[in-house]
Each structure stands twice: as structure tokens, then as C-alpha cells.
């Protein structure tokens, strides 16, 4: 039933927004952000990116990502404050403007993804000095922080060592120390809560900034776009057999691009067929419902019109 509604939503996906009355617009890979004074209106579109390319849209992706991020912002506010003021629409967050740090904080609980590819190739771009003989998808004794630069759209993020963050003056020593502590604290909270729902939070990305002197987490948190999730049941057995994990995140798209189209970021991106778009949307939907323990209402229709209506109701337009 959900597949039918996901497919029915394909013609209605939100690929862009244009609300000049909200303020100055900045368009990221997924979010359109509007700044007015110290208020931000972040609209999570249905755009889907991988390997630093915007590739297509997924039905209900913006609603699922934004609502899940809001869920996590509420669940983790006791760990570190966030920028959220209100959520007037499933894909809209109103937030406080923060002075964003120029570093992305990636926390990893397992040796997988790009870190595994680096390890397998003998590279150590983060200065981790991992021991020899580790296996793909092996769990670390404790989560590791692997920071990177925040590259403009179309460019690749650059791995950073601890020392490089400070040597380049990307953060002050104080902000670096408290951001690391916050990232690891958020990850621990995320792992605890996902585990209770039969999921594994494998790795994730955080962004932080300052509102005055207060450290806040911004952008998104623990979504299938910025995180890797595995189904917990049978995970240890799959690892022992050297089998792939069951993923509920954007890695499904990356693996499809690599295996089915031979694309990993270089050259012209391939078109994404509708059946793949629906399959990926279903992964995002499943992740949302498993993590939150709730059913997401799939209401087929014009997302842009709904967003405009709700922005007007909130007196933002």
C-alpha cells in the first residue's frame, strides 16, 4: 500500500522553493534556507544528493527527513541545545540563526563506508592509526570522530585531523573541545534510542554553531541522509559471515550507483529510474517508522501548495 502512495507522489515532489518574502535565500543540496534578521526558515525539499551531486527527488523525502530531525532535536535537547523554534509544516523548521562552524563532525561507531575504503587502501586521512587486521563493518571499541571541511556544492569535503582543525584556525580550542564532547554525547544518545527500536546508528554527521556564546546543533540530526542505519536483528551474524548489512539510509543509493551504473562521483551523474526512487523512498519511510515507533501519514498531493498554506497560517508569509 505504501509503495502505491509513494509512486503516486512522484509527480508532486518538491524540487525547489521560491518564497522571497521569507528573506534572503541560500540553496543547499537538500535544504532551501531563508534568512530574515536572526530568524531562519529551513525548507527541506525532496531533492536527493549523493557523491556531492543533486540527482533526483524522492516522494515525501523532505517531510520524512525534517520531521525525523525535529523528533531528534526534541529527544536530545538535554544533551546539547539546538536551533529549533517551531515546525509549521512537516518539511519546514523555523530556527535561530547560528554562526556555523566550518567543520562537519562525523562520528563513526563501525569501520564501514568511506573510512573502510580508506583503511583498505592503506590511507589514514584522519590520523586515527587504526590497528591492522580489522574487517569491514567491524565495531570500534568506542566511537571515533572523523571531522571534515564543509565544501561548497559540487566539491568534495576534505578529511581533517584533530591537529589540522586547530592549525588552520577553523575553530578555537574551546569550541573544538566542546563540539567534540557534544558530538560524542549526541551519538551515544542516538545509539541508545535507536537500539531500543531494533536499529543500529552506525555513523552520522553533526553541524554546530554559536548563538551568542551558546553552542547549538544545527541543520539536521540522525536522518537517513546524514546517518547510516542498520537493522540490528541478525547484524552480528551477517558480520561474522562477511555479508552486507541491511541498510535503511542513503547508502542504498550510493551502492546502486556504484554497482548498477559504475558511478562514484566522477563525470555526468546517471538518471535515477522511478522504481529506484520509490525503493529509496520506502527505505526512508521504514527508517522513520522504525526509529520513531510511529506511522507516517502519506498524504499524496502538491507539497509546494501545502507548504505555502502552512507558512501563511504561521504568519511567516
Domains of the chain: 2-98+273-313 (3.30.200.20), 100-240 (3.30.470.20)
pLDDT score recorded for residue 155: 65
Looking at the predicted structure, is the pLDDT value of residue 123 above 60? Answer: yes
CB 282 within 8 A of CB 3: yes
Helix (H) or strand (E) holding 197: none
Look at phi and psi of residue 192 and say left if phi exceeds 0, alpha if psi is from -120 to 50, else beta.
Answer: alpha
Please write the tens of the pLDDT for every residue from 209-228. Answer: 999 999 999 999 999 999 99
Round to whole Å and give the CA distance between 301 and 123: 47
Distances in whole angstroms, Cα of residue 151 to Cα of each of 29, 52, 252: 11, 9, 23
pLDDT-derived band of residue 286, with 50, 70 and 90 as boundaries? very high
Element counts in the chain: helices (H) and strands (E): 9, 14
Q: Is 281 exposed, middle or buried (0-12, 13-18, 19+ CB in 10 A)?
A: buried
Please write the tens of the pLDDT for every residue from 243-279. Answer: 999 999 998 999 999 999 999 888 999 999 999 999 9
pLDDT-derived band of residue 93, with 50, 70 and 90 as boundaries? very high
Please write the tens of the pLDDT for every residue from 46-58. Answer: 999 998 899 999 9
pLDDT score recorded for residue 3: 81
Which of the pair, 13 or 114, is modelled with greater confidence? 13
Selection from 72, 64, 299, 281 nearest residue 197 by Cα: 72
Report the length, in residues, of the chain.
Answer: 317
3-state secondary structure of 237: helix
Average pLDDT over residues 281-287: 95
CB 280 within 8 A of CB 58: yes
Q: Quick one: what percent of the chain has pLDDT higher than 70?
A: 97
Looking at the predicted structure, is the pLDDT value of residue 126 above 80? Answer: yes
Q: Is 35 exposed, middle or buried (0-12, 13-18, 19+ CB in 10 A)?
A: middle
Amino acid at each position: 500500500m505504501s509503495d502505491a502512495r509513494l509512486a503516486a507522489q512522484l509527480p508532486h515532489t518538491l524540487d525547489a522553493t521560491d518564497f522571497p518574502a521569507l528573506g534572503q535565500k541560500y540553496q543547499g543540496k537538500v535544504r532551501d534556507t531563508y534568512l530574515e534578521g536572526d530568524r531562519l526558515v529551513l525548507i527541506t525539499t525532496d531533492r536527493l544528493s549523493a557523491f556531492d551531486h543533486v540527482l533526483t527527488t524522492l516522494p515525501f523525502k523532505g517531510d520524512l527527513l525534517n520531521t525525523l530531525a525535529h523528533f531528534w532535536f526534541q529527544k536530545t535537547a538535554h544533551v546539547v541545545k539546538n536551533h529549533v523554534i517551531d515546525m509549521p509544516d512537516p518539511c519546514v523548521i523555523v530556527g535561530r540563526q547560528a554562526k556555523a562552524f566550518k567543520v562537519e563532525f562525523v562520528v563513526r561507531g563501525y569501520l564501514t563506508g568511506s573510512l573502510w575504503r580508506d583503511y583498505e587502501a592503506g590511507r589514514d586521512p584522519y590520523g586515527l592509526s587504526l590497528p591492522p587486521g580489522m574487517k569491514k563493518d567491524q565495531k570500534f571499541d568506542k566511537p571515533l570522530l572523523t571531522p571534515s571541511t564543509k565544501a561548497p556544492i559540487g566539491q568534495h569535503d576534505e578529511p581533517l585531523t584533530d591537529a589540522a582543525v586547530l592549525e588552520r584556525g577553523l575553530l578555537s580550542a574551546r569550541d573544538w573541545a566542546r563540539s567534540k564532547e557534544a558530538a560524542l554525547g549526541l551519538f551515544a544518545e542516538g545509539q541508545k534510542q535507536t537500539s531500543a527500536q531494533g536499529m543500529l546508528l552506525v555513523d552520522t554527521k553533526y553541524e554546530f554553531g554559536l548563538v551568542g556564546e551558546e553552542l547549538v546543533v544545527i541543520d539536521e540530526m540522525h536522518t537517513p541522509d546524514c546517518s547510516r542505519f542498520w537493522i540490528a536483528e541478525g547484524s552480528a551474524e551477517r558480520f561474522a559471515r562477511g555479508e552486507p548489512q541491511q541498510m535503511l539510509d542513503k547508502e542504498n543509493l550510493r551502492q546502486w550507483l556504484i554497482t548498477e551504473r559504475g558511478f562514484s562521483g566522477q563525470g555526468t551523474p546517471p538518471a535515477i529510474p522511478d522504481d529506484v526512487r520509490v525503493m529509496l523512498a520506502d527505505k526512508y519511510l521504514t527508517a522513520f517508522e522504525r526509529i520513531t515507533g510511529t506511522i507516517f501519514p502519506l498524504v499524496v498531493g502538491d507539497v509546494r501548495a501545502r507548504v505555502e498554506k502552512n507558512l501563511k497560517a504561521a504568519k511567516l508569509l
